[in-house]
Structure 1
């Protein structure tokens, strides 16, 4: 058996076949791929890796792997679209529903050490188990993910991008143009962060606009639509068992790991009405917590699942806020 390589010294990865979802692979069972060893730098760990390129089907654009195999296995995502392999959903949605905490470091030096250790664990494991334990996942969250997931692959995602010259009325290639000549939907060609940052956001499950929209839709469907009054930063947990403030904070940290303890201004437990008031330091943090809690179908405190609702503005405070907004 060849000795294991230290990626801090070798600094590259080689693979024989990519980790892809069915959508990116395409409907053709006889896909021809080109393979280029050390063809590009992984957009997550910055190591050179084996790049695969292929055409997923007639009328589709050529696709290629964006991240290395190791990074894809660590997160359980496709190397090209970076969506979850089991549900086909954004990482941010999956992690919010299952209460998964992002433990991966973001600095270059720590990333190399972290990935090296996980890569060694996967090589030693007979079944290739990654750092995620699906058996410990929240049953309600998994059920929600199954309902949100598509039953069939969405091959329209493989279509060519919209021609920017066509939008300006300057494309002269006509039918020979490899891009789509059609008017985009609102926001489809909006400019945001560069591709490098966008890939990292999707991978780490942070600031993903698609995931944010999906979580807001889930929250609204469960009666957790954010109130118009922006001064409201409080969530209520209803139907709690006998518990303490520490129990509520522990359950909240487990269910919504994205919210840090210092982002919670106060927690007030009212034993007589079996409820708790959770006041956050910022409205955006409160909305993020509400979306994650709706995805997890509430919160479990001391073995009992509680309902989550938004708080209400204090009397006399709402009119003042409205007057300030009007001014």
Structure 2
């Protein structure tokens, strides 16, 4: 007769091998790992899980798993670096390109309950993303941004805090890097933000650079909060445009930082000019417009056809004697020329 299960360990996770990307696993074909059952609580759902620890290569720092396998499968990410397993990109970049909305609760309430319910749904599936319907343009964008080779530089030792203070006296024997830390937004990364794809500085940098490459660099005029859609299909209506726009907007575009923020609230108005087959999408603030431009740099499909996306332009100032040309829009009333 099997021993009675411990009721206090209900829902705790046991596993035989971690879910890791090639970079975190390292270039050592004979890597040795230590395994500790229920070694620490998961960094997202807070359930105790099996923790693995290993050295990915000579001169590298020891690494360990930080989230449980259930949470890793829900987002299809590595248990250590929390990057997407297929493309090696932050979840915010992947979800923005594919139009995936996060269903997992990011607050402390119900996180453990949600993870336990997902265990049954994940049986037989590698990830909940397997059945997600996505646009081909988003997949092409991810293929272009994806890192094709392992980036082992990410496994280097951390910076020596004593060296930064000028107090390290171990010299070459110090196991940490003797470099001065850089104080920028990339140095302020958060596990929860990386996992749930919100306000991730690495993702913001990748999306911003891609938008610039595609000709969607944000204009210097901060009052411009509109995007111009051209080459719309003949069948397009204001409702079909609004439906597709809301579906493709990332959660980060929502004006409210709450976990239940609705991207639809980021849109102030949509003005459809059927005769010219164009439309203006006016956003409530500049941040929402920039997040939309980053996502639509991969291409926006409406009624099965790909449309062109450009930034709007501000109205010409009265009495300046100049006349704007091209798509012009403000956050309230657009102007078509």
TM-score with structure 2 length normalisation? 0.85
Report the Cα distance in structure 1 between the residues aligned to 2:175 and 2:92, rounded to whole angstroms: 32
* Closer/same/farther in 2, CA of residues 61 and 107 from structure 1, 3 Å limit: same
Q: 1:263 aligns with which of 245, 262, 266?
A: 266
Q: 2:174 aligns with which of 174, 177, 189?
A: 177
* Closer/same/farther in 2, CA of residues 227 and 188 from structure 1, 3 Å limit: closer
Aligned match of 1:323: none
State how many pairs are aligned. 306
Aligned match of 1:68: 68
SS of structure 2 residue aligned to 1:49: strand
How far does the alpha carbon of each residue in 1:134-160 deviate from its partner, in whole angstroms, 9 at most, with x for none?
A: 673322221221221222101111000
RMSD, aligned CA: 2.3
Deviation at 1:247, TM superposition (A): 0.6
Higher helix share: 1
Aligned match of 1:168: 165
Aligned match of 1:27: 27
Report the Cα distance in structure 2 between the residues aligned to 1:152 and 1:64, rounded to whole angstroms: 21
Aligned match of 1:213: 205
Aligned match of 2:96: 96
* Equivalent runs, 1:161-310 vs 2, <5 Å: 161-184=158-181, 187=184, 190=187, 192=188, 198-242=190-234, 243-258=236-251, 259=253, 260-294=263-297, 297-310=298-311
Report the Cα distance in structure 2 between the residues aligned to 1:107 and 1:255, rounded to whole angstroms: 24
Deviation at 1:23, TM superposition (A): 0.3
* Equivalent runs, 1:42-61 vs 2, <5 Å: 42-61=42-61
Deviation at 1:6, TM superposition (A): 12
Moved more, 106-115 or 305-314: 106-115
Higher RCO structure, 1 or 2 (CA under 8 Å, sep 6+): 1
TM-score with structure 1 length normalisation? 0.88
* Closer/same/farther in 2, CA of residues 26 and 188 from structure 1, 3 Å limit: farther
Report the Cα distance in structure 1 between the residues aligned to 2:63 and 2:200, rounded to whole angstroms: 21
Show structure 1 runs of 4+ deviating over 4 A.
5-9
Aligned match of 1:12: 12
Aligned match of 2:333: none
